[in-house]
Structure 1
């Protein structure tokens, strides 16, 4: 059962609002705010880089608890490409991850797809699928509109 506080979140007026809260919560290591962006649906899906598919609110919560066991995540969404249609939005995101190693600051890239659905509680995430990018991948910068449809 999802934590009751997670469902008391503000209504998100747009998928972009929902996405902003998701990434802010990841950077803050705030599990309740991360879970507040998810739809209240047994079929929500999350795949972390190199991980297995987890389905349902309890499994998604457990996956993020595991991630936060190491602290917050210095993740920054960049080069977002969006497709919106009839109450559904799909965002392709390059996630820049900043870490400090023994060799100094390093930047890595994760390729993610976030899917949002317009619900009676506002826009909510229904899927987050993240895959590792190439170690030295530099995102392609092309002047295309961020909303494709």
Structure 2
């Protein structure tokens, strides 16, 4: 099933239906991420070794502890990243849901501001009656933008995968 089209962009500030839906879980993810709220991110992601994240900054991370470490490094570093999810579709079943779209946003450092454009997929599963994020994949299609984003986060573009 596709999302109903009532929300075209998600920043985390949207009013949640509070119906335990996967869309509410997605909105809560963006609220937590944009606020740098590690405790809320922990509540959003699946526990243990099952979850995985693959993106241009964090590399491939497996298990919530490794994912948490990546968020912690990002939130304590020199850059601030805020994103909105848009141009998305979704489909799912009774215990799984996939959101596919794009993130747009800004990465701000003390010396620069960079507009971000990231292809994004997020997969949620229903665990003990609650939707939890199981997987995230993000990619940047533009090599120059990827290099600038890595420079903002790491101080230089990566010469090998993160």
User: TM-score band, normalised by the shorter chain?
Assistant: 0.7 to 0.9
**Map 1:21-100 → 2, pairs under 5 A:** 21-70=28-77, 72-100=80-108
Distance 1:72 1:30 in 2: 13
Structure 1 alignment gaps of length 5 or more: 1-10, 137-149
Distance 1:84 1:128 in 2: 16
The structure 1 segments of at least 4 consecutive aligned residues displaced by more than 4 Å after TM superposition are: 100-106
Q: Tell me what 1:117 maps to.
A: 125
Q: CA deviation at 1:93?
A: 2.3
Alpha-carbon contact 2:48-2:65 (below 8 Å) kept:
no
Structure 2 alignment gaps of length 5 or more: 1-17, 146-162
Q: Tell me what 1:144 maps to.
A: none
Change beyond 3 A, Cα 1:27–1:50: closer
Say which SS state the counterpart of residue 86 (structure 1) adopts: coil
Change beyond 3 A, Cα 1:39–1:16: same
Q: CA deviation at 1:73?
A: 2.1
> How large is the Cα RMSD of the aligned pairs?
2.5
Change beyond 3 A, Cα 1:52–1:98: closer
Instruction: Find 1:128's aligned residue among 120, 127, 136.
Output: 136
Q: CA deviation at 1:50?
A: 4.8
Q: Could you tell me the TM-score, scaled by structure 2's length? A: 0.67
